[in-house]
Chain A
Amino acid sequence: MEFLNHLGGVFEPVAFLLLLGGTIGGLILGATPGLSPTMAVALLIPFTFQLEATQGLILLGAAYTSTVAGGAVSAILLKIPGAPANIATALDGHEMAKNGQGAKALHISFLSSGIGGVIGVLLLIFLTPVLAQWALAFGPSHLFWMAILGVTVIGSLDSKSFVKGLLSGCLGLWLSMIGYDDIQGAQRFIFADALTGGINIISALIGIFAIPQVIEMFAKGRIASSISSLEVEKQSIWASVRETLGYKRALSIGTVCGSVIGLIPGVGGQIAGLLAYDQARKFSPEREKFGSGYAEGVVAAESANNAMVGPSLVPLLTLSIPGSPTAAVLLGGLLIHGIFPGSDLFDNHPKVAWTFINSMLVGQILMVIFGIWIAGYAAKVAKIPNPIMAAAVLVLALFGSYSIQQSMGDVYIMLGLGLGMFFLEKFGFSAAPLVLGLILGPIAEANFIQGSMIATAGDGTLSYFFGGVLNLFLIALVIASIAYSFWASIVLAKKTAPKPEVTK
């Protein structure tokens, strides 16, 4: 219960003001397309030079917490996921916003983020020493199987067409290999100069989600009726709380997926939201409602991506290994003040360590409060007339994709992928599996190559990738996931057969 002794530190005036500032600033930065949590936290590092160690970490902790949740705002309202973590949120959240339930979607997203987030931080507080050992258990072969498990989700993520879902995923995997090969340094598939740097995941996200969205707005044409956008339903907070708590299954799936994946160094929690969304759908009796604006999908995705925040810091705080890019930036924030994570941190600077962890706990709660407060206003975005919205999203896409690395190449890739995606979407290909492929490709490849290099020096490839309980467990999950997808595609095909989909 040591963390309780230091809880007061969070409520000292300066600390609390920083916490507030970090939370609100984080929500805004997170909602800006192109600013991933990693970038937002890196941007704040210079500010912490001026502050004491504890104060600096409070700012960073609060910002990390709320940028992850803030990404949901643009995902829901504009269908531009702020970061890979928010892709799954966009699937149902944006549909809800289109149905006039933007405020409700935002409420539910912040509430489930908060619940997942608090549980994640509590795991960090109570189970850190145990979890640290788990985190280390994942070597290259296990990470490879994790990535493959993610790939198998691809087929079932697209409810419309099994083969097109898988094909979209393959396209994504291939796109991820463009540019320099990360390990060998060879050039692959570089057709144009803009591609030398490879495809940046954030600019791809912006293009693939935002550009088709903009063109769909064009498609509504120049008619007066498109201007009178739908009413935004008022949503009482208590109704949202009740509804969120009602989705117990989605909340538990999301929290478990998020915590486990967050813990594993190298996967970085980017896929936590998508995996949780997929699992929640598989276990839901109303699975056909997913994707059409169903709140349970938002709950699963958002509880997962905030549950990841706490556990993702376990390897950093105990072993000094940053498990994700954001954790690496936080490590910098600690080092600047001469604090080394690991036993030194908890033994010699307990106040710093616990205030930091507490600030994330309190930050989660503040994030929910402010998130709900702005939700009512933010949902009005849906009332902005179509042409203004289209122009604004396009300009945001330009600035967002440029500001990631200040490179025009990323901007061209953004638009190129976006136009291609619009065309393919018209024929039933979908964006989410493509992005999943883009994220998982490098993880699968790097771990496969690294694993086989280690295996050749050691016991041989077969026993390295197929030996051990953890490998076998993960392989079993992969097989189960594939089997389920086949089964579901056959059953669903039979179900939908009597009423063929409308084609023009």
Chain B
Amino acid sequence: MKKLIAAMALSAFAFTPGIGAAQAADYPDRPISVMVSYGAGGATDFQARIVTMMAANEKLLGQPMVIINKPGAGGRVGWNWFASEAETDGYTLSAYNVPHFIAQSIKGGVKYSADSFEPIANWGSDPAVVIVPKDSPYNTIGELLDYAKANPGKVTMSGAGLFVGHHIAALQIQKAIGAKLAYIPTKGGGAAAMKAVIAGDVIAGVNNLSDAFRAREAGNVKILAVADLERNEKFLPNVPTLKEAGYDVDNSSVNFRGIMAKKGTPPEIIEMLAAKVPEMFANGRVTKQMNAGGSPIKIMNRAEVQKMWSDRQAFLQELLKDLK
């Protein structure tokens, strides 16, 4: 309770209203908003709340980061708002999900592209995994995909939405086996897609490694394969990658999460954030709680993220070209 009061008092004192435009020199002098384009309680929201919890520390940013949720249409609503309406004073940042927003911008109908944003740093990577209900007749990825090959369009596979990591993984699998899958996007994100698998509404599903790991621990699903280049030694040492199982699927669907600013934000502010934010992600308490929640950490600095973005951009353009 003492700590609670202390935290409340601290945050009350930390708030000192500044007047006029933000000065890069004394940035930040008020709380920074971080927009998450998924609902409260989703994996991105949950992780964003953990990785930003140390922001108010004097050695880091010295001001708290506040999460704002703008969910809708697989992230399009939030990123549209960020690209078109957010201010560029450095007090409004956003979480990003790659490949989601890049794939959506290639598909069109949105107001952003990879060029609308400036990456700051990456905090995590969550590979997609293929899951089936616990009483499913399929025990290996080979059995499931052989059936899919023999019965094109009959294997229903749930995922968080269209043009998100799960969908990319399903598309890659489709391409690898040369047969259609019935990909079922859900409205409620990864949690709803998971429910569809556990309840047996669908035959299989693509989901986040972290959520699938939890569901397996609870005895609800079987995890058949990971859509990554290497096995996940920490959480799923026994689950093969799709590559190992003989399917040509790489790590393009891995869900990278991090923080970005809007293009037009003063370069000094971006530099300052790019230096401090990875440090904040690497903080001992942050990593401890990320690990406790089963969320894989992958800290990347600004330069690394820039390279990752342009790699994904090129790859996705190629992959999505074949689709209408």
Question: Is the Cβ of B194 less than 8 Å from the Cβ of A450?
Answer: no
Q: How far is the CA of A139 from the CA of B104 in the complex (A)?
A: 28
Asked if A332 lies at the interface with its beta carbon under 8 angstroms from chain B, I say: yes
Q: Which B-chain residue is minimally distant from A445 (CB atoms)?
A: B187
Tell me if B41 and A458 are in contact (CB < 8 A): no
Checking B7, B72, B214 against A198 with a beta-carbon cut-off of 8 angstroms, the contacting residue is B72
Contact of A39 with B40 in the complex, beta carbons under 8 Å: yes
Whether B33 and A325, one on each chain, are in contact in the complex, defined by CB atoms closer than 8 angstroms, is no
Of the residues B50, B104, B218, contact of A344 by C-beta under 8 Å: B218
Task: Please give the distance in Å from B43's CB to the nearest CB on chain A.
Answer: 9
Residue from B46, B163, B187 in contact with A182 in the complex, judged by beta carbons closer than 8 Å: B187
Q: In angstroms, how far is the closest chain A Cβ from the Cβ of B104?
A: 7
The answer to whether A335 touches B220 (Cβ under 8 A) is no
CA distance in complex: A202, B199 (Å) = 30
A342 within 8 A of B: yes
B1 at the interface (CB under 8 A from A): yes
Q: Does A457 contact B (CB under 8 A)?
A: yes
Would you give the 0/1 interface string for A45-88, flagging 1 where the beta carbon is closer than 8 Å to chain B? 11101110000000000000000000000000000000000000
A154 contacts chain B at the CB level, 8 A cutoff: no
Contact A328 B219 (CB under 8 A): no
CB pair A197 B220 closer than 8 Å: no
The complex places the Cα of A266 from the Cα of B189 at a distance, in Å, of 11
Q: Which residues of B contact A319 (CB under 8 A)?
A: 195, 198, 218, 220
> By the criterion CB–CB under 8 Å, are A328 and B191 in contact?
yes
Using an 8 Å CB-CB cutoff, how does the interface string of B63-101 with A read, 1 for contact, 0 for none?
A: 000011110111011001100110000000000000000
For residue A17, CB closer than 8 A to chain B, the reply is: yes
Binds B, one of A184-192, A281-289, A351-359, A381-389: A184-192
Q: Of residues 182 to 229 in A, which have CB atoms within 8 Å of B's CB atoms?
A: 182-187, 193, 196-198
Also in contact, A182 and B72, with CB within 8 A (given A42-B40, A50-B7): yes
Q: What residues of chain B lie closer than 8 Å to A344, measured between beta carbons?
A: 217-218
Most buried by B among A21, A329, A343: A329
Cβ B219 vs Cβ A340 within 8 A = no
**Chain B proximity mask over A451-462: 1 for CB below 8 Å, otherwise 0:** 001101110000
Q: How far is the CA of A187 from the CA of B110 in the complex (A)?
A: 9
Contact between A328 and B39, CB atoms less than 8 A apart: yes
Closest to B39 in A: A325
Q: B184 touches which one: A46, A180, A450 (CB < 8 A)?
A: A450
With A and B bound together, what is the CA distance between A401 and B31 in angstroms?
20
The reply to whether the CB of A114 lies closer than 8 angstroms to some CB of chain B is no
Q: Which of A290-344 contact B (CB under 8 A)?
A: 315, 319-322, 325-332, 335-338, 340-344
14 contacts between A and B (CB under 8 A): A38-B40, A42-B69, A51-B4, A180-B72, A185-B161, A197-B72, A197-B77, A320-B218, A335-B293, A338-B292, A344-B218, A406-B33, A407-B81, A454-B201
Known: A49-B289, A182-B74, A197-B70. 7 other contacts (CB 8 A): A45-B49, A46-B49, A180-B76, A183-B162, A183-B187, A327-B41, A335-B292
Residues of A within 8 A of B (CB): 14, 17-18, 21, 38-39, 42, 45-47, 49-51, 136-140, 179-187, 193, 196-198, 265-266, 315, 319-322, 325-332, 335-338, 340-344, 405-409, 442, 446, 450, 453-454, 456-458
Lowest 3 A-B CB distances belong to which pairs? A328-B41, A342-B218, A338-B292
